[in-house]
Structure 1
């Protein structure tokens, strides 16, 4: 038996898929895996002509030294005593933009499948191998895409980790700079500050005489101060101490409230009465004359 199938997948991807028993098991069309058994083991329904035969068995794929693979199987009919034992050689050949899978080998079979026409059996085997090759190519492609996605995710996570590390480094440097700026308040570190250049500049700077005169103040005292000092000459110390200040700094006397005397209160009405009497007397004398 010989069969060739072309798939648009590189040979390296197919070899990686053949090395994974789980992908091989998913590539077998119609295989129902049994729990707790080896990966490529379970129940498989094979349609030959108008008949369907269910087998239970296992398939093993192992690499050879020449780069090909040995495919060995052992299956028994679920409803019968027939046994099928395929022994195939699978080789990969790169062709253009893909790979050609070549199946060669033989198979021993008895039971129900041996009673069916050989043409129907060959067609069923060819269809089974074609679908297996197509499924294997799909598994290889999906596995490669998943690996690429994982690598891209890992690369993105690595980039994020690097960015986080850089951000943390920047924050640490900023905190260190802030800490160094805050440590200036420490007395011990403040003592280490070199103030010699500034001190030397201050003491070595030239000061003009005018500046010294400004600092010393006016040479002559104000006129008020001189007058006060002259008036205090000849007095005792006690008098000077208790003498009130004069001139600009003399205290302002409080305003005095003048209360009219009781004598002046009655003098004004009396004077008015006298003047009125004089006027009356003067008029009387004029009339007589």
Structure 2
């Protein structure tokens, strides 16, 4: 019997699954694995054929050679004395959109399986291979889902990033303020630092500027009074001198 199965995945990914006996066992429909040793898979296989179900207990062996995969096995009916022998070869080939599995196999048996005609047995075998291909594709989809994908930052992460940016901006502002203070004379720089540290922002904004930017004080009003203090005695002396001169002239006349 010849049959082809399409798997919508690259041939390399398909080969990785076919090279792993445990993964192949998960893809065989109706197989309940008991234990495995190397490439041997022991367990039960339920086969649906012609409206009936036959369960076999046995073992399957998977080997690889020349690019193809060989699956062979034998089993005995759980409820009866019938036997079955299986030999299947699968060759993965790359094609547009995925991989084609070219299968070539033979099945022979005695007991209940021998009661069905060749056409019914072949139809059951093709259906089993189609289901195997679908299970193989599902196995590969699970591999893709297991690969972590980068996600955009959520609101919380964005807030953390904004906070970090704000901290960096604050550091830059502090560095700039420090450089500006370093340009001031030592005394004025020290005074500016004390003002910024010991007073609130509102007080600093409304306080008069100091240092080199402080306004020049206006002349004191008391300077005029000081002039009058020395001008008044001088005027009195001049007046007294004028009176004396006037009296002396009168006497001479």
Cα 1:183–1:194 change in 2 (3 A) is: closer
Structure 2 residue aligned with 1:121: 121
Structure 2 residue aligned with 1:106: 106
Larger Rg: 1
Figure out how many residues of one structure are paired with residues of the other and give that number: 202
**1:173 aligned onto 2:161:** no
Unaligned runs of 5+ in 1: 185-189, 231-289
The answer to whether the 8 A contact 1:16-1:140 is kept is no
1:79-117 Cα shifts (integer Å, max 9, x gaps): 123333322211012333343211124345334323543
Structure 1 residue aligned with 2:55: 54
1:185-240 Cα shifts (integer Å, max 9, x gaps): xxxxx8x76517x8xx97xxxx9xxx9975871242379xx79xx9xxxxxxxxxx
For the aligned residue pairs, the C-alpha RMSD in angstroms reads 4.5
Q: How does 1:1-289 map to 2 (within 5 A)?
A: 1-21=1-21, 23-34=23-34, 37-38=35-36, 41-64=42-65, 66-144=66-144, 146-147=145-146, 150-152=147-149, 155-156=150-151, 167=162, 169-174=164-169, 176-177=171-172, 194-195=184-185, 217-218=223-224, 219-221=226-228
The answer to whether the 8 A contact 2:11-2:92 is kept is yes
1:254-274 Cα shifts (integer Å, max 9, x gaps): xxxxxxxxxxxxxxxxxxxxx
Give the TM-score normalised by structure 1: 0.52
Q: Distance in 2 between matches of 1:51 and 1:212?
A: 117
1:141 Cα shift? 3.4
Secondary structure at 2:151 match in 1: helix
Secondary structure at 1:29 match in 2: coil
Cα 1:164–1:43 change in 2 (3 A) is: farther
1:33 Cα shift? 4.1
Cα 1:97–1:176 change in 2 (3 A) is: closer
